[in-house]
Chains A and B, each alone.
Chain A
Amino acid sequence: AQSVTQLDSHVSVSEGTPVLLRCNYSSSYSPSLFWYVQHPNKGLQLLLKYTSAATLVKGINGFEAEFKKSETSFHLTKPSAHMSDAAEYFCVVSARGSQGNLIFGKGTKLSVKP
């Protein structure tokens, strides 16, 4: 069985400071992992994906995530937060044998203070 745990339901940072959103996963297979972002009252946008290539994955808008198999983690980071980064972020796993269906974490709401 696969599962995803986002360790913080809410993260607040000041503009210009680093962002860290934490995600741990559990999977019986080698997983594909994703981060999606959802701005208020909007749909879901793919930020980045890990598919067993490089363990450090770069995404859009300066975000990146590192796949650490030994820690079963896939934390999302950004060196310097921008006001426009305020949104909800979902860590997602898709594993073989599940027809590619996605299992979502409960989400982390990121607030950015001026």
Chain B
Amino acid sequence: NAGVTQTPKFQVLKTGQSMTLQCAQDMNHEYMSWYRQDPGMGLRLIHYSVGAGITDQGEVPNGYNVSRSTTEDFPLRLLSAAPSQTSVYFCASSSPERTNYGYTFGSGTRLTVV
């Protein structure tokens, strides 16, 4: 099925560990974004990309790294995990023609840092 695929669905990390959250879409969308969701905060933008090779910071980028080597993939790297990064992470994609029609979201990755 076409859509946005996130892996893993759940992850527990120890403080200081690094990991990569994977995001892939098969809709040939140029725009891809990463959000984190925390209780009472809605979703906040971490990083985004408007095409392969182009990334930029969102509202809460500290502690996260991204790259966009292909149109399909947009991985999010946690360089040194901290308990404050315990959250649910959502990847989303859209295209310039479709941004007025909303983004397609993945099903999320629930990350716990202990």
Given contacts A32-B99, A49-B100, A106-B41, contact A43 B107 (CB under 8 A): yes
B-binding residues in A (CB < 8 A):
9, 32, 34, 36, 42-44, 46, 49, 51, 90, 94, 99-107
Confirm or deny: B33 has a beta carbon within 8 angstroms of a beta carbon on chain A: yes
Confirm or deny: B74 has a beta carbon within 8 angstroms of a beta carbon on chain A: no
Q: Is the CB of B42 within 8 A of A90?
A: yes
Name the residue of chain B whose CB is nearest to the CB of A52: B100
Q: Which of B37-51 contact A (CB under 8 A)?
A: 40-45, 48, 50
> 0/1 per residue, B21-36, Cβ < 8 Å to A?
0000000000101010
Name the residue of chain A whose CB is nearest to the CB of B31: A100
A-binding residues in B (CB < 8 A):
31, 33, 35, 40-45, 48, 50, 56, 58, 90, 92, 94, 96, 99-103, 105-108
Contact of B90 among A43, A49, A94, A103 (CB under 8 A): A43
Given contacts A44-B105, A46-B102, contact A101 B42 (CB under 8 A): no
Name the residue of chain B whose CB is nearest to the CB of A99: B50
Name the residue of chain A whose CB is nearest to the CB of B104: A46
Name the residue of chain B whose CB is nearest to the CB of A46: B102
Closest Cβ of chain A to B5, distance in Å, is 11
Most A CB atoms within 10 A — which of B45, B56, B58, B99? B99
Closest Cβ of chain B to A107, distance in Å, is 5
Bound-state CA distance A9–B96 (Å) is 32
Q: Is the CB of A106 within 8 A of B42?
A: yes
Q: Is the CB of A101 within 8 A of B102?
A: no
Closest Cβ of chain B to A21, distance in Å, is 14
Bound-state CA distance A43–B35 (Å) is 12
Name the residue of chain A whose CB is nearest to the CB of B45: A101
Task: Find chain B residues with CB under 8 A from A106 CB.
Answer: 40-42
